[in-house]
Structure 1
């Protein structure tokens, strides 16, 4: 009863503060990220503005935007390349630079815009794709280049992600490592074949891969920096990540607003808050990411845990043309599926 009264009182206070009962509903993936968003972004935002907020967990965020019921959400977190894909549709609300003033502090190449130049995606943080390894079985020197993944000495000791991600992330990164780019992925095909040949398994979930790395069943895998951070935080200090000499693949995560969702002014204020340094620092420190806001100053303790600085990481990141990747995504998924079938048979 007391908890109900407390919650009701909070809603009343927020309503009185703004003169409205409008609520901003943010859809994202379930788990720790959703809790971080609620506790370290939405709670302080509501305290500062009086605008009520709520997190809703969904299994497929981009699918939620494309759903006929998308307007029930005011904000949705998507992967960057999905956000780029959605920017070419009429599914997203657009905002001017004046409406999102914090955009001036974001790298232009990671702000998602539609054909009219309006902002349709706010990059809230980034992680990166590197080579994650169990350092009881290997070390960073083993993975100085992405090309090392094709070395026959790793036969049966690596893992690969599903084709939907391998087509967007692996194939793109390997093409870059061999002199190609997002438009010319042919140079990456042989390296991808080598990884497939060396892979013990195709992992089906992040939890699955965490287990394989932790038990040593898999020595190394192209994987996400944020997952390494979480594993180390949970006590698995033998899981490390290497950024090869060709760079790591920068993976920004963006928040979009489905068109027709309502509460536009409250949503605009919320998106601007997400673009700001304060919220991005909170998300990064609690979730193992890196702010996209150029004015964000990460705490010394967090930088020590990362073992580097934001500026140093940015200098090592490869940022491909995600529009080209999206436009060719289905075709490349088919290619990767065929490669996996051919190499393993």
Structure 2
């Protein structure tokens, strides 16, 4: 069974139990996004130990933080950039010793351009993967002109055929872009209210707030959903099944870009040596093509990416684009909490 077929087949399981664990090497526990527990992504680790780590999975950054902050023990965790300050402030992580990570020198500096990630105390975050959040759509039923603007999510033509992420960061990146904000690091009250009003207007059109790419891919494959605000991996899954899917990364208002990586959990239950073997395997140059082929994401390792043909990047929709981008970088804790609370109200119909 191919990975794409497997994910389609297990979408319901992931929805019902996103935190299910996959037991393997008991000396390393990785807390990761659903779909990332693949040997192909860490072949050097598997070659050394004859197994992959024990994985526990999550579908949302807030869900992951809530679990580790209430006692769940893991050795490494895979948050996206905007969450790292919460892990630091909660005292949950410790710096990485980058002298033990040879490929660290090849990570593009733009992914470390924050004192939250690297300061006098050390390197707190190893950025590993990045991609986009943009408009996925059924190219058979949805004309290209309909997705030329983020207004497609308000279009009554697609009422109850829309899917949005059940994810605070992604849904607010959409709403802010749609209302003219391209930098979310200094959102005013007026801008916040406008974005919230936009989400409330869109809410009646929403068939599903998806929780993981397998779920989204499944409902798009059946035709239940025709337009979605999506990550690259759902599009990659659909393309692997030869489904007529498009990924509009240049609507007039712009799209979002993000990056994720690994933190070194304090007092992890496993062996620290294996945590380093894991991160070295993940950012190894041999792993970048596998990340692209299996997940649809690009590696932060510039040396690795330079070896991948441009046509492969275009196929995966991670080649450089000139459209307006909202970068999902760290934001003020109070604003993010406000977004989280408001989104819960909107989903509930208030």
Common fold: TM-score over 0.5: yes
Q: In 2, distance between residues paired with 1:207 and 1:273? A: 25
Q: In 1, distance between residues paired with 2:211 and 2:33? A: 16
* Deviation at residue 242 of structure 1 after TM alignment: 0.8
1:240 is aligned to 2:246 = yes
The runs of 5 or more residues in structure 1 that have no matched partner are: 1-20
Structure 2 partner of 1:198 = 205
* Deviation at residue 216 of structure 1 after TM alignment: 2.2
Structure 1 partner of 2:315 = 305
* Deviation at residue 222 of structure 1 after TM alignment: 0.8
Structure 2 partner of 1:58 = 56
1:271 is aligned to 2:272 = no
Structure 1 partner of 2:174 = 173
The runs of 5 or more residues in structure 2 that have no matched partner are: 1-24, 59-63
Are residues 211 and 91 of structure 1, via their aligned partners in 2, closer, same or farther at CA, if it must alter by over 3 Å? same
Q: In 2, distance between residues paired with 1:130 and 1:202? A: 15
Q: In 2, distance between residues paired with 1:58 and 1:118? A: 27
SS of the residue aligned with 2:229?
strand
Contact kept, 8 Å, 1:203 with 1:209, in 2: the verdict is yes
Count of aligned pairs between the two proteins: 308
Pick one of 134, 153, 175 that aligns with 1:149: 153
* Deviation at residue 220 of structure 1 after TM alignment: 0.5
Structure 2 partner of 1:212 = 219
Structure 2 partner of 1:44 = 44
Contact kept, 8 Å, 2:75 with 2:275, in 1: the verdict is yes
| CA RMSD of superposed structures (Å) | 3.2
* Deviation at residue 251 of structure 1 after TM alignment: 2.9
* Deviation at residue 227 of structure 1 after TM alignment: 0.8
Q: In 1, distance between residues paired with 2:217 and 2:261? A: 24
Structure 2 partner of 1:256 = 263
Are residues 128 and 270 of structure 1, via their aligned partners in 2, closer, same or farther at CA, if it must alter by over 3 Å? same
Higher helix fraction: Structure 1 or Structure 2? 1
SS of the residue aligned with 2:202?
helix
- Deviation string 1:244-281 (CA, Å, 9 cap, x unpaired) is 23332123221122112364344335424433433233
Q: In 1, distance between residues paired with 2:329 and 2:159? A: 32
- Deviation string 1:56-83 (CA, Å, 9 cap, x unpaired) is 232434455335352xx33222333333
1:320 is aligned to 2:290 = no
Q: In 2, distance between residues paired with 1:197 and 1:319? A: 27
Contact kept, 8 Å, 1:131 with 1:143, in 2: the verdict is yes
- Deviation string 1:203-225 (CA, Å, 9 cap, x unpaired) is 45544432332222222111121
TM-score normalised by length of structure 1: 0.75
Contact kept, 8 Å, 1:24 with 1:263, in 2: the verdict is yes
SS of the residue aligned with 2:94?
coil
